[in-house]
């Protein structure tokens, strides 16, 4: 069966998946968790083969690390599933309950989105993580993993699928695509796939966003900023900048550009330059910055660069307004921070910066669903339609309006014979 | 200036619009309301010219009615603005307030989406309505109306824009596109326009959905169903079906297909056939239906037809499950109703039908923001990402996460030196 047909069938059957109770979905998750632990040898064997092939193909060490699926990763993902089971059911939550008129009751109730396409590069743990999130939220999932871990993905998917179906999940509500050309086919399924979640490099996510009419949840770039205001605390600024740049350089919420108020520059630049040097971070800056500290000179139009490496762009600005304008122009609307002791300046910055996360006096690396206390993370969205920022399970649900009547017709209300009284009910 | 440049500038300036207080936005709305009333003669004169030109061009009478902007329409839209002013501010609402750790506080706060493109056919009142909604929600708007009412639109826009700017709304936060080829240009502005709201015919909305990468909020088709269960009340069924079909046939929430349980068919079809006949509704049905009542015979694959006219498709089914499968396959996920006295059957139907509105025993015509008590309606969305069903002001806002720290770095939490304690705060 090709992907178009498969997703059409999945779409038609998706209401069976939506109809499972919270207990049934949790039971399926528990079955998946146990099956993954019970079949560790088969998983590790497949992953070992993938790793050997990758090594032969000369894949870079940093990528190799992401391909690996060992006991540590297994413990991580199964612990994640155990936590997911404990989270409240995201479905059938009543968001609004209103009596429109006597005997005419309106309820807004959460329900699954339907069919979700998941496309990811490398990281086979993403397959386990995202398929578990779809199970928890009653969504059908079509998964396409990277070719580098094709063997691992195949084994993982089979274990998850068999365990879930055995536990009562309808057949055909989860599907794996294995061929690379199936990505483009999946991207064309806008009539049957409700949402795409891509996980991978900027270019990968950008390609997906540019080549589909299906809504995409995620982010391509993460060009995050830290702005050091005139009224700043050095004791906070230095560790925050070092953490945001070096704690995990490949993360989307790592800082890429440092903006410094001109009033603070003479004092602060030498201090931060020393700390960055000690942490092996290379500085690129404007000519003006280069007059104060040693750095490679960069041009204005390069400020949209996401290094994902031990490199930091530095620029001076006159005011919080200039910082905001720079961030809104060159940033990626992900997460941006101001270092200031002035509450009003912080509030101005937070109001005006058009990003999913706007921070005062803490590391941009806090932009993460787990650190926000969401329990599970679907991803981080830089879109403004639907979920924004770190997205928990609520990003995988929508709602429907249920209206219970007793024979009401609109003609009576349009004609003035009856009136609505709009009384909120206990949910 | 071309549309691409204009929206780029608008995007850069959109934070100025977002920074207006609720009082300022309401004051601008009040200024717009007064200016519209004060300039009625100029509006009516322009509309009169549009109507004359349309008549000469031989535009159909039904369309002519929608082009008209008279005293009645003026009263309607200005009353709408007065209501809008009274609605609570949709911005700066705290949706989540959580202490992640001591001195590290997370808030999720609503904010405008940014730049909204509004494209509408005919109905110049839509221009007033949607630009007011954008003002209330702090969004920048770029408006493109139909060429049939170009003169009316131009006058309306000038009145609204001048009044709003005079009341303190930043210049350039509202813009009118006047040339037809600018639609395609607007559709290509996915880097600067955050959301498109089209208002018009199916084909028009479908064209927009198919030709842009910008998220679109709205609906193309409205193929709504009523399913008459075996356990139905005739006294409810007949008026509901007549209301849903005839109260306003051109509406997207009018019923297009009637599904009848085979057990009820022999008794119910003759009754509804008589009532439909009295209301000048033509019936099209399957061969099986034609054996019971007089009707034009139709084929299975025509059940996706949206008539927007006094015509109704009729088909028999064996069960609520078969009704659900038909609706999910041929419907447009807008609004569908079951007529049943059996609460369990109603709940099953409501759970399984994949539509924005699922009703029991009332007319599909209730699918409307005002009838739901939202006060203002942005439109009705059949999408599942972002707002679904009738959309109030909340469909024009997103949120951002504000994190207030006091020097926290992620390294301390990753290294186990500190722990999050996730305490919900009073919002």
pLDDT(B367) > 70: yes
Q: Which residues from chain A sit within 8 angstroms of residue B402, using beta carbons? A: 350, 358-360
Regarding whether A278 and A362 lie in a shared domain, the answer is yes
Task: Judge contact between B109 and B178, C-beta under 8 A.
Answer: no
B340 located within any domain: yes
Specify the pTM: 0.93
- Alpha-carbon gap: B311 to the closest alpha carbon of chain A (Å): 19
Minimum mean pLDDT range among A40-54, A387-401, B177-191, B366-380: B177-191
- The model's pLDDT over A201-229, given as tens digits with 9 standing for 90+, comes to 888 999 999 899 899 998 888 999 999 99
**How many Å from the N-terminal Cα to the C-terminal Cα in chain B?**
44
A409 located within any domain: no
* Structural domain boundaries enclosing B7: 3-218+390-400
Regarding whether B310 and B187 lie in a shared domain, the answer is no
Regarding whether B94 and B14 lie in a shared domain, the answer is yes
Regarding whether A209 and A278 lie in a shared domain, the answer is no
Coarse DSSP helix, strand, coil percentages of chain B, rounded to the nearest 5 percent: 45, 20, 35
Instruction: For residue A372, give Cα distances in angstroms to A89, B99, B105.
Output: 19, 9, 10
B194 located within any domain: yes
Strand-pair partners of B101:
B104
Dihedral pair phi/psi, residue B200, rounded to 5°: 165, -160
Pairing label, strands B195-199, B115-120:
parallel
Contact A411 B247 (CB under 8 A): yes
Regarding whether B103 and B133 lie in a shared domain, the answer is yes
Banded model confidence at residue B376, pLDDT cuts 50, 70, 90: confident
pLDDT(B180) > 80: no
- Burial label for B416, CB within 10 Å (0-12, 13-18, 19+), is exposed
- Percent of chain B past pLDDT 90, that is, above it, reads 87
Crossing angle for the helix pair B343-352 and A3-18, to the nearest 10 degrees: 150
pLDDT(A1) > 70: no
| Top mean-pLDDT range of A17-26, A170-179, A183-192, B116-125 | A17-26
Regarding whether A157 and A40 lie in a shared domain, the answer is yes
Of the residues B12, B24, B404, B413, the best mutation for testing chain A's interface (the one with the most A CB atoms within 10 Å of its CB) is: B404
Residues 361-420 of B with CB under 8 A from A: 361-363, 365-367, 371-373, 383-386, 388-390, 398-411, 413-414, 420
Q: Cβ of A345 under 8 Å from any chain B Cβ? A: no
Residue bearing tokens 């230095």? A238
- Burial label for A95, CB within 10 Å (0-12, 13-18, 19+), is exposed
Query: What is the distance between the alpha carbons of residues A112 and A122, in angstroms, rounded to a whole number?
Result: 27
Regarding whether B252 and B112 lie in a shared domain, the answer is no
Q: Which residues from chain A sit within 8 angstroms of residue B113, using beta carbons? A: 384-385
What mean pLDDT is predicted for residues A188-192? Answer: 92
Q: Enter the ipTM.
A: 0.94
Regarding whether A29 and A13 lie in a shared domain, the answer is yes
B372 located within any domain: no
pLDDT(A18) > 90: yes
What mean pLDDT is predicted for residues B314-328? Answer: 97
Cα nearest neighbour of B242 on chain A: A409
* Nearest Cα to Cα of residue A397 among A116, A105, A203, A44: A116
Q: CA gyration radius for chain A?
A: 25
- Which residues make Cβ contacts (< 8 Å) with residue A347, sequence separation at least 6? none
A340 located within any domain: yes
Contact B235 A19 (CB under 8 A): no
What mean pLDDT is predicted for residues A370-391? Answer: 92
Query: What is the distance between the alpha carbons of residues A33 and A143, in angstroms, rounded to a whole number?
Result: 18
Could you tell me the two tokens for A61?
A: 């060490």
B377 located within any domain: no
- The model's pLDDT over B231-267, given as tens digits with 9 standing for 90+, comes to 999 999 999 999 999 999 989 999 999 999 999 999 9
- The model's pLDDT over A252-275, given as tens digits with 9 standing for 90+, comes to 999 999 999 999 999 999 999 999
Q: How many domains does chain B have?
A: 2
User: Residue B248: which CATH number?
Assistant: 3.40.309.10
* Nearest Cα to Cα of residue B115 among A196, A92, A328: A328
Banded model confidence at residue B317, pLDDT cuts 50, 70, 90: very high
- The predicted pLDDT at position B201 comes to 85
Query: What is the distance between the alpha carbons of residues A79 and A308, in angstroms, rounded to a whole number?
Result: 28
- Alpha-carbon gap: B358 to the closest alpha carbon of chain A (Å): 5
pLDDT(A144) > 80: yes
- The model's pLDDT over B47-68, given as tens digits with 9 standing for 90+, comes to 999 999 999 999 888 788 889 9
What mean pLDDT is predicted for residues B9-26? Answer: 93
Task: Judge contact between B122 and B146, C-beta under 8 A.
Answer: yes
Banded model confidence at residue A320, pLDDT cuts 50, 70, 90: very high
Regarding whether B291 and B206 lie in a shared domain, the answer is no
B341 located within any domain: yes
What mean pLDDT is predicted for residues B220-226? Answer: 93
Pairing label, strands B311-317, B255-261:
parallel
Mean of all residue pLDDT scores within chain B: 94
User: Number of C-alpha atoms within 13 angstroms, CB side, residue A423?
Assistant: 10
- Alpha-carbon gap: A45 to the closest alpha carbon of chain B (Å): 30
Strand-pair partners of A315:
A259
User: Residue A47: which CATH number?
Assistant: 3.40.605.10
B405 located within any domain: no
Regarding whether B343 and B212 lie in a shared domain, the answer is no
**Nearest beta carbon to residue A386 from set B210, B243, B386:** B386
* Nearest Cα to Cα of residue B382 among B374, B373, B391: B391
Regarding whether A235 and A127 lie in a shared domain, the answer is no
Pairing label, strands B140-144, B174-177:
parallel
Residue predicted with more confidence, A376 or A403: A403
Regarding whether B55 and B194 lie in a shared domain, the answer is yes
């Amino acid at each position: 069966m090709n992907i178009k047909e498969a997703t059409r069938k999945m779409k038609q059957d998706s209401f069976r998946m939506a109809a499972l109770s919270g207990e049934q979905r949790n039971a399926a998750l528990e079955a998946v968790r146990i099956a993954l632990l019970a079949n560790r040898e088969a998983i590790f064997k497949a992953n070992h083969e993938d790793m050997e092939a990758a090594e032969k193909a000369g894949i870079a060490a940093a990528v190799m690390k992401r391909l690996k699926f060992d006991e540590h990763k297994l413990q991580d993902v199964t612990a994640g599933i155990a936590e997911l089971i404990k989270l409240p059911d995201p479905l059938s939550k009543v968001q609004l309950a209103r009596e429109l008129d006597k005997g005419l009751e309106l309820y807004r109730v959460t329900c699954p989105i339907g069919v979700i396409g998941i496309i990811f590069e490398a990281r086979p743990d993403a397959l386990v993580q995202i398929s578990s999130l779809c199970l928890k939220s009653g969504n059908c999932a079509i998964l396409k993993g990277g070719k580098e871990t094709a063997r691992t993905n195949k084994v993982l998917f089979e274990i998850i699928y068999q365990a879930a179906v055995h536990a009562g999940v309808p057949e055909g509500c989860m599907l794996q695509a294995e061929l690379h050309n199936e990505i483009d086919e999946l991207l064309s399924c806008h009539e049957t796939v409700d949402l795409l979640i891509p996980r991978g490099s900027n270019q990968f996510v950008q390609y997906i966003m540019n080549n589909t009419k299906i809504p995409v949840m995620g982010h391509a770039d993460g060009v995050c900023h830290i702005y050091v205001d005139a009224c700043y605390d050095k004791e906070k600024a230095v560790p925050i900048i070092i953490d945001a740049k070096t704690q995990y350089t490949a993360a989307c919420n790592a800082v890429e550009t440092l903006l410094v108020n001109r009033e603070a520059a003479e004092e602060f630049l030498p201090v931060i330059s020393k700390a960055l040097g000690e942490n092996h971070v290379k500085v690129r800056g404007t000519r003006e910055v280069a007059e104060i500290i040693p750095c490679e000179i960069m041009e204005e139009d390069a400020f949209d660069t996401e290094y994902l490496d031990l490199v930091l762009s530095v620029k001076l600005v006159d005011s919080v307004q200039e910082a905001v304008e720079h961030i809104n122009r060159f940033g990626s609307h992900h997460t941006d921070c101001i270092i200031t002791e002035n509450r009003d300046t912080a509030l101005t910055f937070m109001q005006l910066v058009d990003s999913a996360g706007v921070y005062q006096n803490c590391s941009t690396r806090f932009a993460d669903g787990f650190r926000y206390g969401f329990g599970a993370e679907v991803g981080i969205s830089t879109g403004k339609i639907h979920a924004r920022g770190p997205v928990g399970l609520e990003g995988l649900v929508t709602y429907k309006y249920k209206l219970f009547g007793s024979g009401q017709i609109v003609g009576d209300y349009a004609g003035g014979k009856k009136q609505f009284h709009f009384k909120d009910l206990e949910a």
